Amino acid sequence: MKRILLILAVLFLVFSTLSAQEAERTTLAKQFAEVIGFEATMEELKKTAQLSVDREISQMMDQVRKSFSGVPAEYMKELTAAGEEFARKVSSAWDSGEAAKVYSAALADVLPEKELRASIQHYRTPEGQQELKAMNEAAFKLNAYILSSTQQAYEAGMREFVSKIRSISEKAKRDRETERSN
């Protein structure tokens, strides 16, 4: 019985030590995310994405209005409201604070405590701050490239899609008229 209690005590100590180390790494990972301004970066990314989504929805609705110009205004209002609701849902799909938590948790899973401490210390220095500034600028430029490329592809694809919808609609209309005349 004493042997079992001793084994349980050793296991408890090992688990407690590992749990404390894990908690320390988690705390350090959160500090690291704060030092590098991760949540603020995510907030800026979210604003940029929101503008992109709004622009895409607006362009899509312009295409819909052009393609279905004969649709009564009340239905166009409904379509516009549906487009705006769609934009809100897409834009609120993620939260910058939650993204920072996910990022911190991922860091805690892969970086040892020693590396986290060294990184925090480094990014608090003027040199580290300069590196962060350069990395953030590069990340924003990369993001702008990705969003711009995606938007261009979306716009071209949407024009083609609406054109196909119009063509199919016209074909269906002609077929109905042909059936009626027969």
| Confidence at residue 128, expressed as pLDDT on a 0 to 100 scale | 92
Average pLDDT score over the chain: 79
Q: Are 40 and 100 in contact (CB under 8 A)?
A: no
Place 142 in a pLDDT band, splitting at 50, 70 and 90: confident
Is the pLDDT at 13 greater than 60, yes or no? no
Is the pLDDT at 15 greater than 60, yes or no? no
Q: Is 0.75 surpassed by the pTM of this model?
A: no
| Confidence at residue 130, expressed as pLDDT on a 0 to 100 scale | 95
Chain segment 99-124, per-residue pLDDT in tens: 888 888 888 888 888 988 998 899 89
Q: Are 87 and 55 in contact (CB under 8 A)?
A: no
| Confidence at residue 22, expressed as pLDDT on a 0 to 100 scale | 61
| Confidence at residue 121, expressed as pLDDT on a 0 to 100 scale | 93
| Confidence at residue 169, expressed as pLDDT on a 0 to 100 scale | 80
| Stronger pLDDT, 129 or 182, i.e. the higher one | 129
| Confidence at residue 126, expressed as pLDDT on a 0 to 100 scale | 95
Give the Cα separation of 89 and 95 in Å (integer).
12
Chain segment 50-63, per-residue pLDDT in tens: 887 788 778 877 87
Give the Cα separation of 152 and 82 in Å (integer).
23
| Confidence at residue 21, expressed as pLDDT on a 0 to 100 scale | 53
Is the pLDDT at 152 greater than 60, yes or no? yes
Q: State both tokens at 68.
A: 């279905």
Chain segment 27-77, per-residue pLDDT in tens: 888 888 888 888 888 888 888 878 877 887 788 778 777 777 777 888 888
Q: What is the mean pLDDT of residues 5-22?
A: 46
DSSP per-residue letters across 87-114:
HHHHHTS--HHHHHHHHHHHHHHHS-HH
